[in-house]
A and B are shown apart, each in its own frame.
Chain A
Amino acid sequence: MNGRDPVDRREEEAGRIWNPGAETLPREELRALQLERLRATVERVSQVPFYREHFRRQDLGAHSIRTLDDLRRLPFTTKEDLRRHQPLGFLAVPRHEVARIHGSSGTTGTPTFVAYTAQDLRTWSELCARFLVAGGLRPHHTAQVAFGYGLFTGGFGLHYGIERVGAAVIPAAAGNTRRQLDIMRELDPEVLICTPSYALTIADGARELGIEPRSLPIRYGHFGGEPWSEDMRREIESELNILAFNNYGLSEVFGPGVSGECPARNGMHIQEDHFIVECLDPETLEPVPEGEPGELVITNLSREAMPLLRYRTRDIARLDRTPCACGRTTTRMSRVTGRTDDMLIIRGVNVFPSQIEEALLRVEGATPHYLIEIDRPGTLDEVHVKVEMHPEIFSDRMDRMQTLCERISREIQTVAGIRAHVDLVEPRSIERSVGKAKRVLDKRGLHRDDDA
């Protein structure tokens, strides 16, 4: 069905622009559009109690936004703010206008819900269509989506983006690598959509079945949902003989579609007609010098159901405002190189070390001394939680000790939603550090800032 194009021709093919009017808008016009949309957004969020109260105290309103610099007068929004106003306390439209509800991966056991109007869903599809086309998707293609479909925004977001482009979508959903490979070989999709680590799992799975991964029909991959590195991109590309594209987004501000790569693959183009992305020093909350790493702070410009002002993503990245060879006029962001908090992404699930601690506290007598070790021995993340032994939980009976490990593991699954191996270790064997305890040893090497 499709011949194996040389990669250079594929890059040429990838270099199309879905919406040239928006994506190559001259900077001046883009800024004017941003200002207009920011005013409208401020007007809209005046309905939201959280913002209304802030505006009242500071005597702010749409009238206060005279230039884009006035953005800095607006309040920040944090994950905690969203949580405190759950469910749907940030809704800026009447409930009956809500067309869909998604949720962020539950970081504290309860997902943070996000709402969309019918128009929001159209906007979101447009955002996804843009980065998909920038990364090779064409209307005659077929794309296999191996993302989870559910509250998670990855599956549905990409699904509707593909349909928007006019391509065919196979909603294979996450997991069952054997079946993914069967589908791929029967239906010849040109595009694969999943997490980067799952792309490698598919390659491994193929090899196990005696299939040469490079012979699979896919030619482009769009990967997101978890941090990955340039090394990993090179591995995926050579294993599967594809071009791999990175994209970025988070459910709080829409989902995937905030930014995505063009064929230059030198940063992800931020869809600035729909988002203003600031890069701030997380301590001072002042802008970092041009090109320096800082926390991404995102303001929605076009969202109806739940527009957020200055949402603190906690993701660390750099911004690049220099022009790109692809012709898009938008600012680019580097891949995410870290977090301002201690959140971990393990097999696509957001996990905080405090959740592991909470799980341990639920097991009577378990110590607060623990270390989370994350590694990626093959293609999937593996978590070991080392727990120090102490007299109250030690038994001379092996069955009791094994039951203890199982109980801790079960609690971690319940609280954090991940499967972890529990390793009991000798007392005082976990390094005590001065000040903040070191709780995490991430051996995956994902956070190297290596695409500069």
Chain B
Amino acid sequence: MKLQQLSLFLENRPGRLGAPLEAIAAGGINILTLSLADTAQFGILRLIVRDWEKAKRILEEAGWIVNLTEVVAVDLLDRPGGLAAALKILEGANLNIEYMYAFSLRRDDKAILIFRFEDPDRAVQVLLDHGLEVVDADELMRHVPE
């Protein structure tokens, strides 16, 4: 029920974001979604790709530092209050969200959000217990273009 996310360390200066993206593109890997956190000095690029093992290998061989993290993809109703309701559940269960970002894919009346939790297993359980839809990797991949 969890997704593998790749994180890369980048210096915050012109051209630094393009280099790793070109490397994985050359390997034929499409990025499903990404988020970038940055300070004045450096940034952390987080990627969700279909073949994360291959992408990780390509990036590491090219000299990047790659971190592998389990994140949780949650299907939320795409309407006002959809996210707020989910956050309320997580808060009630004392689950801390390290960060989150939106998935670039929307299906029917649902939007997918990616959550990074300290304890992803418990988060998945809490979300399921409250009737929310947690999307697993295989299912997600079925919905995105090759």
Pick out which of these stretches binds chain A: B22-30, B61-69, B136-144: B61-69
Are A396 and B7 within 8 A (Cβ)? Answer: yes
A427-B63 contact, Cβ under 8 Å, with A396-B7, A396-B46, A398-B44: yes
In the complex, what residues of A have CB within 8 A of residue B7's CB? 394-396
B contacts with A: majority SS = strand
* CA gap between A401 and B65 in the complex, in Å: 14
Asked if A426 is an interface residue, CB under 8 A from chain B, the answer is: yes
Is A396 a contact of B42 with CB atoms below 8 Å? no
Interface residues as binary, B16-47 with A (CB distance below 8 Å gives 1, 0 otherwise): 10000000000000000000010101101010
- B129 close to chain A: CB less than 8 A: no
- Report if B98 contacts A (CB, 8 A): yes
> Which residues of chain A from 89 to 143 have any CB-CB distance to chain B below 8 Å in the complex?
none
At the interface, yes or no: A382 with Cβ under 8 Å from chain B? no
Select from chain B the residue with minimum beta-carbon distance to A429.
B11
Interface residue? B52 (CB, 8 A):
no
Cβ contacts under 8 Å, A399 to chain B: 98
B65 and A425 contact, CB distance less than 8 A? no
The reply to whether B9 and A426 form a contact with Cβ atoms under 8 Å apart is: yes
Minimal Cβ-Cβ distance residue in B for A395: B67
Q: Whose C-beta in chain A lies nearest to the C-beta of B40?
A: A423
Q: Once the chains bind, are A391 and B65 in contact (CB under 8 Å)?
A: yes
Is the beta-carbon distance between A402 and B11 smaller than 8 angstroms? no
In the bound complex, residues from chain B placing their C-beta under 8 Å from that of A402 are 39
Of B41, B46, B69, which one neighbours A423 at CB under 8 angstroms?
B41
* Given contact pairs A425-B11, A426-B9, A396 touches B63 in the complex (Cβ within 8 A): no
Inter-chain contacts of B66 with A (CB < 8 A)? 391
Contact: A401 with B42, CB < 8 Å? yes
Question: Are A396 and B65 neighbours in the complex by a CB distance under 8 Å?
Answer: no
B10 within 8 A of A: yes
Point out the residue from B16, B44, B64 that lies within 8 Å of A396, measured CB to CB. B44
The answer to whether A427 and B65 touch across the interface, beta carbons within 8 angstroms, is yes
Please name the residue on chain B nearest to A384 by beta carbon: B41
Query: Contacts A401-B44, A424-B42: A394 and B65 contacting too (C-beta < 8 A)?
Result: yes
**How many residues in A have their beta carbons less than 8 Å from beta carbons of B?**
18
Q: Once A and B bind, how many residue pairs between them come within 8 Å at the CB atom?
A: 53
- How many Å lie between the Cα of A427 and that of B63 in the bound state? 7
Chain B residue at minimum C-beta to C-beta distance from A422: B41
Complex interface residues of chain B between 67 and 96 (CB less than 8 A to chain A): 67, 69
User: Would you call A57 an interface residue if the criterion is a C-beta within 8 Å of the partner chain's C-beta atoms?
Assistant: no
Q: Given A389-B9, A425-B11, A426-B10, check contact A398 B37 (CB 8 Å).
A: yes
Contact A389 B37 (CB under 8 A): no
Select the residue from A396, A402, A424, A429 with max chain B CB neighbours within 10 A.
A396
> What CA separation (Å) do A388 and B108 show in the bound complex?
45
Cβ A394 vs Cβ B42 within 8 A: no
Q: How would residues 376 to 412 of chain A score, 1 for a CB under 8 Å from any chain B CB and 0 otherwise?
A: 0000000000000111001111110110000000000
Q: Knowing A397-B98, A398-B39, A402-B39 touch, does A426 contact B11 (C-beta < 8 A)?
A: yes
Judging by beta carbons under 8 Å apart, are B98 and A424 in contact?
no
A374 to chain B, nearest CB (A): 17
* Shortest distance from the beta carbon of B82 to any chain A beta carbon, whole Å: 25
A422, chain B: closest CB distance, angstroms: 9
Shortest distance in angstroms between A226's beta carbon and chain B's nearest beta carbon? 28
- What chain A residues lie within 8 Å of B42 (beta carbons)? 389, 401, 423-425
Nearest-CB distance from B143 to chain A (Å)? 24
B9, B37, B44, B116 — which one has the most chain A CB atoms within 10 A of its CB? B9
Interface check A436, CB cutoff 8 A: no
A428 to B5 CA separation, bound complex (whole angstroms)? 24
Q: Are B63 and A424 in contact (CB under 8 A)?
A: no
Residues A394 and B10 in contact, CB atoms below 8 Å apart: no
With a cutoff of 8 Å between Cβ atoms, the chain B residues found around residue A428 in the complex are: 63
Question: Which chain B positions have C-beta within 8 A of A401?
Answer: 39, 42, 44
CA distance A103 to B42 in the complex (A): 40
Nearest chain B residue, comparing its CB with the CB of A390: B65
Within the complex, the shortest CB–CB distance from B123 to chain A, in Å, comes to: 15
How far apart sit A401 and B12, CA to CA, in the bound complex (Å)? 14
Q: How far is the CA of A182 from the CA of B53 in the complex (A)?
A: 66
Cα separation A426 to B116 with both chains bound (whole Å): 24
Known: A396-B46, A426-B9, A426-B10. A389 touches B65 (CB 8 A): yes
Contacts of B46 in A (CB 8 A): 396
Contact with A along B93-128 (1 / 0, CB 8 A): 000001100000000000000001000000000000
Q: Which residues of B contact A (CB under 8 A)?
A: 5, 7, 9-11, 16, 37, 39, 41-42, 44, 46, 63-67, 69, 98-99, 116
> Given A396-B67, A397-B98, A426-B65, 4 other A-B contacts at CB below 8 A?
A389-B42, A401-B39, A401-B42, A423-B42
In the complex, the 8 A-B pairs of residues with the closest C-beta atoms, listed nearest first: A396-B7, A389-B9, A398-B37, A394-B65, A396-B69, A423-B41, A424-B42, A396-B67
Show 29 A/B contacts (Cβ-Cβ < 8 Å), sorted by A. Answer: A389-B65, A394-B7, A394-B67, A396-B44, A396-B69, A397-B44, A397-B98, A397-B99, A398-B37, A398-B39, A398-B44, A399-B98, A401-B39, A401-B42, A401-B44, A402-B39, A423-B42, A424-B9, A424-B41, A424-B42, A425-B42, A426-B9, A426-B10, A426-B11, A426-B64, A426-B65, A427-B9, A427-B64, A428-B63
